[in-house]
Structure 1
Amino acid sequence: MKTKILLAEDDPDFGMILKQYLELEDFEVSWFQNPEDIVQILPSGLPFHIGILDIMMPNIDGFSLAKMILKEKNDFPLLFLTAKNQKIDRLTGLKIGADDYIAKPCDPEELTLRIKNILKRTLPTAVETYIKIGEYSLDTSKLLLSHSEGNIRLTVREQELLVYLLKHNHTTITRDNILDSLWETNDYFTGRSLDVFISRLRKYFSHDQEVKIQSLRGIGFEVDFPTY
Structure 2
Amino acid sequence: MSTRVLVIEDDASIQEVLRYSLVQAGFNVQIVGSAEEAQTAVASVLPDVVLVDLMLPGMSGSVFARQLRQNPRTRELPMIMVTARADESDRVAGLEIGADDYLPKPFSPRELVARIRAVLRRRAPQHSGDLIELGRLKLDPSAHTVMLDSSEVEIGPTEYKLLHYLMSHPNRVFGRQQLLNAVWGDHRFIEERTVDVYVRRLRACLGDDGEELVETVRGVGYKMSTRVSPAQQQQ
**Which band: TM-score by shorter chain?**
0.5 to 0.7
Q: CA deviation at 1:39?
A: 1.6
| Cα distance in structure 2, aligned partners of 1:93 and 1:107 | 20
Letter in 2 for 1:11: D
Q: Relative to 1, partners in 2 of residues 1:126 and 1:103: Cα closer, same or farther, differing over 3 Å?
A: same
Distance 1:43 1:31, change over 3 A: closer
The structure whose residues are more often strand, as a share, is 1
Tell me which residue corresponds to 1:174.
Answer: none
2:202 match: secondary structure? strand
2:151 aligned partner: none
Aligned 8 A contact 1:50 1:126 in 2: no
Q: Mark the runs of 5 or more structure 1 residues left unpaired by the alignment.
A: 157-199, 201-228
8 Å contact from structure 2 (residues 2, 28) kept in 1: yes
> Scaled by the length of structure 1, what TM-score is found?
0.59
Query: C-alpha displacement at 1:88, in angstroms?
Result: 1.5
Per-residue Cα deviation, 1:76-106 (whole angstroms, up to 9, x for no partner): 1100011121112101111011000011011
State the number of aligned residues.
Answer: 153
Output aligned runs, 1:86-105, within 5 Å.
86-105=87-106
Sequence identity percentage: 30
Contact 1:42–1:69 (Cα < 8 Å) also in 2: no
Q: State the one-letter code of the partner of 2:105.
A: K
Is the Cα contact below 8 Å between 1:77 and 1:122 reproduced in 2?
A: yes
* Structure 1 vs Structure 2 CA RMSD: 2.8
Per the alignment, residue 65 of structure 1 pairs with: 64
Alignment partner, residue 109 of structure 1:
110
Amino acid at match of 1:98: A
Give the conservation status (yes or no) of the 8 Å contact 1:79–1:100.
yes
Distance 2:20 2:122 in 1: 25
Note if contact 1:81-1:103 (Cα within 8 Å) is conserved in structure 2.
Answer: yes
Separation of aligned partners in 2, 1:19 and 1:41? 16
**C-alpha distance in structure 1 between counterparts of 2:225 and 2:88, whole Å:** 40
> TM-score with structure 2 length normalisation?
0.58
Aligned to 1:29: 29
